[in-house]
Structure formats: structure tokens, C-alpha cells
Amino acid sequence: MAPRVSANALDRQGNTTKMTNPWLDIPEVDYVGHMSSPTVNQRPVLSRLLGDALESIRPRTVLVLGCSTGNGLEHVNPKVTSRVTVVDLNPAYLLRLGERFPNPGFELDIRCADPTEVVLEREAFDLVHAGLVLEYVEWPLLLPRVAEVRWCSQRRPTDTIRVDSSGHANHFRQPAVVGVAVSLCRTRGAR
């Protein structure tokens, strides 16, 4: 099943944003090279964090905010996850993502938008993952919006925000922002 690209994903070259975003000016090869360099080494960490979240949550539907070129999507198990929606501001990154995953075995919905402004379906995702995103967006605006799209049906006492920081998972009942990646998920038996 080929990726579905939102209508504006290929047209958006920064002209539709209110201000020029510096992420639109960083070429994909520079970003991936930087994140993969031995001195930074965040690319494999971010991939592992998404892989760990996918393995532990086993979601049917996933939303990845700030997906870049799809780092970590290789961990999606199509026998478990039927739909992945990805959002990034940079159209060049999304084109590369589509090239990397031409027939992923799951529905891949690629959307080019600012994560704080993207239109998302309510109560549609079992897992929302944002790796290295909250540091660069207005997170007080983003987290309430994500909570609306995340929780399928009504919130339960076990619904948590999982914050991964340097590979350590912590669970919070209230939004908390630290570290490398945030996954909103429904965990079983969280305290």
C-alpha cells in the first residue's frame, strides 16, 4: 500500500507559513548527517525510542509528530499497526520519507504541516509520538490538541503521557516536558 500524501505536502515551500521557519532551510542530507554523527548520535536513539514505544504499546494507529525522513518507522509491525500518520514541517523530508517507505505494508498518511497547526481527527490514535519536537514548538498549545486526538473514547485513570529521556521512560498523569521523546499512550496498569 503506497503512502498517501496530503494535498499541501508537495506544494508547501514555506510560503504558507506565517513566518519563515528555520527547519525549512536545513537540507535533509545535512539534518540526517548531523543527527547520525558520532558526536550527536541522536538518530539511533530516536529510532530506538519509537521502536520501544511501538513494541510496548502495540498500537493499531499511530501519529508521529516531527517525523523528519521517517526515522523509526522501520520498527512498525504491519501485523499490529494498520495506520501511521506522520507530520513534519519540511516537505523535502517528507518526500524522502515517501521514497524510503514506498510500500510499507500499512496505511501511511504523510502530512506537511506545523505540528501545532495540523488538522487531525479526534480520538483517532492509539499512540502519539513526538521525538525531539517539544523543544522546538509552543508545547503548551500542542499538548492539549494532541490529547484530543489521542484518546479513543473517554480518558481512563490509566491514560498517561510517557516521556522518554535518554532512554528512561517515566509516566506522568499531567503533561510534562523533558528530554528527547514524548509518546502519548494508553498503558495498562500504569500507576
Parse the chain into domains and list their residue ranges.
4-186
- Give me the pLDDT at residue 167, please: 39
Grid cell, residue 127, equals 499512540
8 A C-beta contact, residue 84 and residue 59? no
pLDDT mean values, one per 10 residues, the chain (191 residues):
54 47 82 83 88 91 92 96 95 95 96 89 85 78 74 45 44 35 46 34
Class of domain 4-186: alpha beta
Residue 51 is predicted with a pLDDT of: 94
At residue 59's C-alpha, the angle toward residues 81 and 162, to 5°, is 140
Element (H, E) at 112: strand 107-112
Task: Give yes or no for a contact between 73 and 93, defined as CB atoms under 8 angstroms apart.
Answer: no
